[in-house]
């Protein structure tokens, strides 16, 4: 499970997304480096406004003015840079290579089109022709893969339950066998039972397709069950990356530590603490480390120096001055 053993699918380097406002520039995604491996399930966690969704929208060229992709690259395994694609290439790339499972499946289906028609329409839009029967067979097969009955193809979205709608969205997302599936809180509007079933389906499909899934969310429990590796975002920066067991068992960044300790568990009882303070304003970010005003372990130099990315043993990285100091002393966590 070391870096060299696994092939990199997508290499994101220095991704910057800025929103230009009257009051200045908000750096919604701030110099993010991230490598996604082939066939892995990666979880991206962070509080609201930390830039998770913005980051995946940037990969799909869906940032709208006043937002803009201000810098960085996202290199696919064949060498194409997702961020430098132009015009029709962007459109062709969507769904065929990078598919998205939307946040609100409730509203993500066209209310006046039958499910089957919606799925076959997107397939045909990508230049895959076929007779009506062939397309219908394909739709049936896709529905079967997400555990929906063939009859669903003839139904309208309002005739489906929330979970079924989400499954239909997943069927559409996998229709062209994408290598990367971006799932933006796919289960946030569903109850926990359905949530679990959907995540299981997503995991099975991911294994069958050997695709990479980038799951975005703030449900730490869901992440722990689903992901192999997780990344923690704060204020547009990726503050910690590591395997799910490492991050949960032995979090390195003070923000991650507070995040983990705020999850209720059966073992630890007592009063749960939240994280003191409120999320930062992107228009007026603090100097130095973005987290230092809320950090219980903040040192004097945290308000001056911006932390870089420090490697943590096997495959983790952390962006915290506490660890940079350790490195200079030659010890490791």
DSSP state for residue 191 in the 8-state scheme: -
Cβ atoms of 55 and 17 within 8 Å: the answer is yes
Residues of this chain that bind other proteins (CB under 8 A): 60, 62, 91-96, 99-100, 102-104, 106-113, 121-122, 125-126, 156, 158, 169, 172-173
Q: In the complex, what is the shortest distance from the CB of residue 268 to other proteins, in angstroms, rounded to a whole number? A: 39
| Residue that is written with structure tokens 């990356």 in the block | 241
CA 141 to centroid of chain Cα atoms: 27
Closer CB to other proteins, residue 174 or residue 322?
Answer: 174
In three state form, how does the secondary structure of 142-190 look?
HHHHCCCCHHHHHCCHHHCCHHHHHHHHHHHHCCCCCCEEEEECCCCCC
Closer CB to other proteins, residue 212 or residue 252?
Answer: 212
Helix (H, G, I), strand (E, B) or coil at 211: coil
Closer CB to other proteins, residue 119 or residue 280?
Answer: 119
Q: In the complex, what is the shortest distance from the CB of residue 251 to other proteins, in angstroms, rounded to a whole number? A: 33
Q: In the complex, what is the shortest distance from the CB of residue 94 to other proteins, in angstroms, rounded to a whole number? A: 4
DSSP state for residue 330 in the 8-state scheme: T
Q: In the complex, what is the shortest distance from the CB of residue 107 to other proteins, in angstroms, rounded to a whole number? A: 4
Closer CB to other proteins, residue 62 or residue 298?
Answer: 62
Tokens of 121: 């329409």
Q: In the complex, what is the shortest distance from the CB of residue 91 to other proteins, in angstroms, rounded to a whole number? A: 5
Sheet containing 24-37: give its strands across: 24-37, 8-21, 67-76
Backbone angles phi, psi at 58, to 5 degrees: -65, -40
Closer CB to other proteins, residue 156 or residue 248?
Answer: 156
Q: In the complex, what is the shortest distance from the CB of residue 112 to other proteins, in angstroms, rounded to a whole number? A: 5
Cβ atoms of 239 and 320 within 8 Å: the answer is yes
Integer Cα distance of 151 and 156 in angstroms: 11
Helix (H, G, I), strand (E, B) or coil at 250: coil
Closer CB to other proteins, residue 153 or residue 258?
Answer: 153
Q: In the complex, what is the shortest distance from the CB of residue 123 to other proteins, in angstroms, rounded to a whole number? A: 10
Instruction: Please name which of 225, 219, 227, 224 lies closest in space to residue 248, comparing C-alpha atoms.
Output: 224
Closer CB to other proteins, residue 32 or residue 173?
Answer: 173
């Amino acid at each position: 499970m070391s870096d060299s053993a696994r092939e990199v699918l997508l290499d994101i380097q220095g991704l910057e997304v800025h929103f230009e406002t009257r009051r200045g520039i908000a750096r919604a995604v701030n110099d993010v480096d991230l490598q996604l491996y082939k066939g892995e399930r990666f979880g991206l966690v962070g509080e609201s406004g930390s830039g998770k969704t913005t980051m995946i929208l940037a990969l799909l060229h869906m940032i709208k003015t006043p937002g803009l992709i201000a810098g960085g690259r996202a290199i696919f395994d064949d060498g194409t840079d997702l961020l430098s694609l132009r015009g029709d290439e962007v459109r062709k790339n969507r769904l065929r290579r990078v598919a998205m499972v939307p946040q609100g499946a409730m509203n993500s289906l066209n209310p006046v089109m039958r499910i089957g028609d919606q799925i076959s329409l997107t397939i045909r839009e990508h230049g895959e022709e076929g007779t009506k029967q062939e397309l219908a067979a394909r739709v049936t097969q896709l529905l079967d893969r997400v555990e929906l009955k063939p009859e669903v193809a003839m139904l309208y979205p309002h005739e489906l339950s929330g979970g079924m709608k989400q499954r239909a969205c997943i069927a559409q997302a996998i229709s062209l066998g994408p290598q990367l599936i971006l799932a933006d809180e796919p289960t946030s509007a569903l109850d926990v039972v359905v949530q679990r079933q959907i995540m299981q389906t997503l995991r099975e499909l991911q294994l069958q397709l050997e695709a990479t899934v980038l799951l975005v969310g703030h449900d730490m429990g869901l992440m722990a069950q689903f992901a192999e590796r997780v990344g923690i975002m704060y204020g547009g920066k990726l503050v910690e990356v590591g395997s799910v067991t490492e991050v949960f068992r032995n979090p390195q960044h003070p923000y991650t530590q507070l995040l983990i300790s705020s999850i209720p568990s059966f073992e630890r009882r007592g009063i749960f603490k939240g994280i003191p303070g409120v999320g930062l304003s992107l228009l007026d970010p603090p100097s130095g480390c973005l987290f230092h005003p809320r950090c219980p372990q903040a040192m004097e130099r945290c308000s001056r120096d911006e932390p870089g990315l420090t490697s943590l043993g096997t495959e983790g990285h952390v962006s915290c001055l506490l660890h940079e100091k350790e490195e200079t002393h030659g010890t490791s966590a």
